[in-house]
Chains A and B, each alone.
Chain A
């Protein structure tokens, strides 16, 4: 057991601290797609190696050798200083790694640099009304007509579709093939004729998602990543990337400190909530679970650094536990406030800009999104514990 990163990283940490001390006033006050302050900050980060760190220079990145500890130190120091670590979004976090691994040289040249610099905004076209947990049954089809794909169908849960310049999209190109082998991964412009976007208002009251409709959308044939029919493998590489990152324990820890502050300031009939043993026990129960997740996260980091450490199951449980835990944590904060906890919108009694109610609902969305809790349990039992898959009723009918 060695929890230090070693003296050889002290110098690197000092560099990061110095950068933060000198430049933190340039950090954007507001996050958000297309914000010019955020784009300028992103450029500063890339030039200094604090964003797009391991992306090769020829594609607009900083070009450092991958080093998990350096990345962790950057994350820690930026988090301590409460500084923005740069732009996020599905183009940067999901498409870029895929293009690096499976894109053509031309695609890498064309897309990666503007994407990581925030000049090209992407959305992800995966889920459909009839293809949620069973994503591979998607039916949006693309048929080849000369040198173009002609796309017809509908996507749903498409965040940032209304802001996006481009979409990376799963479409069925081989209707005769088994469902996992008939999908292709296409890239196309969102201003192509035949695309209609409708905002989808969710329970938070905001339109975090959209529905996107395709009617005879014509896309050049070569705008495909991987081969025809390989789209499922491409998509799975990205989904694996998404799951754990939906519920990082550091965010839960910082949110937990927020609940502790809230319990110190909120009172009921003149008694501070923190002095109420029932509320305090709920707080301590959640703190115990957050600490367990924090320790689990250290083990996962260690397994990435030290090849040969087995932490497969430890990784599989993060999405399931982390999203449920955050939902309960936010729920505690609401109960701490009582009637004030139901305040929302322009209510003058709002605490924390209404973030407790918002996150409470938002994390219910994350319990469902990115692979529902039930799908996570299937994955844990089948791939983690080696239990058999649910027999396919259709296969049984065919046999008999």
Chain B
């Protein structure tokens, strides 16, 4: 019995962490975020480490690793608030195509970093603004909101009925416009379709479920990392900042804020590991765990990034310190692929506790 990361996973963690800490520090992130410039440089560095192909099977040209490996990487991307298409191209796209057994021929080019596949799933989960799309004879019409990755070459698009189609970003009749969100480390866009040629990947709700679960765990891991970094920064800052002739870390009020953050966050690490492990190894629990983990991490992530900001006092509110990148990262993750209330209802449904 060993509940934790293997030595290979620790090595993966070390190498990705080193790359992100050295090559993509906050000033690089800030530049991408404020100039709306491309994250291509980050992604090509991560591609050198094999990250896009992590979940892609060896037969499809990837590394064939597990969702726990993906969670390790997601946690680090959250920790360093790294802009990247990891969750779309490296997690949800392979999960969808490999579960469906269709479109896999594209995955080799995802693994080599040549192409990126964006994800437009919002309408299959919780359509807003009456957005939605339908398919008629292999042609898509309608609209997707908050599609992940505005630089993608292809999109996997869910209809309101959770049928998944693949469209080429340059297809005739498809138009794409960026949607600014609070989190400038991520890019989202609006896609409108006017009889766009589309390839049916799956009309099986099971495929959508499996792909969504993988995405939920990955977002949870991202929130775990972002929250951990916010807590680490708060503890460090409290140990340096002096008021009333003492470092503020010696005031019980401040210590208890940090203890509450640590206490609520620490079990989340085990929860993310277990939920990631369950995706492949404990299928009877995977959807309940993925839904609960994303909902719980969203609550904890909100509490931790908000409290870490308070520990920083006025400086936490400034752009100068940059703590807001972590605050916004967890805020973005919280809404994406289902807000906590929707996911708790999903967890209740899978247990037969809700209709």
Contact residues of A with B, CB < 8 Å?
1-6, 69, 260, 274-275, 277, 280-281, 283-285, 287-289, 291-293, 295-296, 298-299, 301-303, 305-306, 309, 313-314, 316-317, 320-321, 374, 376-378, 380-382, 384-391
Contacts and interface: CB of A to CB of B under 8 A. Distances in A.
Main secondary structure of the interface of A (DSSP, over half): helix
Contacts, number: 158
14 contacts: A1-B4, A1-B5, A3-B277, A69-B1, A280-B344, A285-B344, A306-B2, A309-B4, A377-B256, A377-B260, A380-B263, A385-B258, A388-B239, A389-B250
Given A280-B348, A299-B3, A301-B3, A320 B267 contact: no
Nearest to A2: B2
B1 A5 contact: yes
B262 A317 contact: yes
A5 B1 CA distance: 5
Contacts of A380: 259, 262-263
Given A1-B277, A277-B354, A391-B246, 16 more contacts: A1-B4, A3-B277, A3-B281, A277-B345, A280-B345, A288-B293, A291-B292, A293-B267, A306-B2, A313-B266, A320-B259, A377-B255, A377-B260, A381-B258, A384-B262, A385-B262
Nearest to A296: B267
B196 interface: no
Q: Which of B249, B264, B293, B344 counts the most A-chain CB atoms under 10 A from its CB?
A: B344
Given A2-B1, A69-B1, A377-B256, A296 B249 contact: no
A302 B4 contact: yes
A376 B264 CA distance: 13
Q: Which of B5, B249, B267 counts the most A-chain CB atoms under 10 A from its CB?
A: B267
B89 to A, nearest CB: 25
Interface string B4-16: 1110000000000
Contacts of A381: 255-256, 258-259, 262
A303 B348 CA distance: 32
A389 B249 CA distance: 9
A288 B267 contact: no
B274 A298 contact: yes
Interface string B269-299: 1110110010001000000010011011001
A43 B135 CA distance: 72
B49 interface: no
A367 to B, nearest CB: 13
Main secondary structure of the interface of B (DSSP, over half): helix
Given A295-B267, A381-B258, A381-B259, A284 B345 contact: yes
B22 interface: no
B2 A378 contact: no
Given A380-B259, A381-B258, A298 B6 contact: no
Contact of B1 (A4, A296, A390): A4
B258 A291 contact: no
Contacts of B274: 295, 298
B348 A378 contact: no
Q: Which of A2, A293, A386 counts the most B-chain CB atoms under 10 A from its CB?
A: A2
Interface string B335-355: 000000100110110000111
B219 interface: no
A387 B2 contact: no
A280 B354 contact: yes
